Amino acid sequence: MIVTYFQNLVTYFARRADETCEREWSVITGIAERLLFDVSECIQCERPMTRELLSRIKGLNRLAREATLKVCLFESLMPLV
């Protein structure tokens, strides 16, 4: 279930990178791909996720939220230009 969640995130981030052509989304996609690999490995090896891995997941969430807010703000200001 969590692997599917990360697969969907990677797909979403990759689509955002393609749509916006912003390097920030490409970086976020790369981070999500690495986390997908690490989470999958934990599940396959039946290891619990470490604090460090959970912290990286939270960091990804924060980055994605900031990037989304930045895009929304930019788009809301576009009619003013």
Burial class (CB in 10 A: 0-12, 13-18, 19+), 32: buried
Report the pLDDT value the prediction gives residue 74, as an integer from 0 to 100. Answer: 65
Number of neighbouring beta carbons within 10 Å of residue 64: 20
Report the pLDDT value the prediction gives residue 57, as an integer from 0 to 100. Answer: 92
Digit-by-digit pLDDT tens for the chain (81 residues) are: 778 888 888 898 899 888 888 888 899 999 999 999 999 999 999 999 999 999 999 999 999 999 888 866 666 666 654
Write down the domain spans for the chain.
2-80
Report the pLDDT value the prediction gives residue 30, as an integer from 0 to 100. Answer: 92
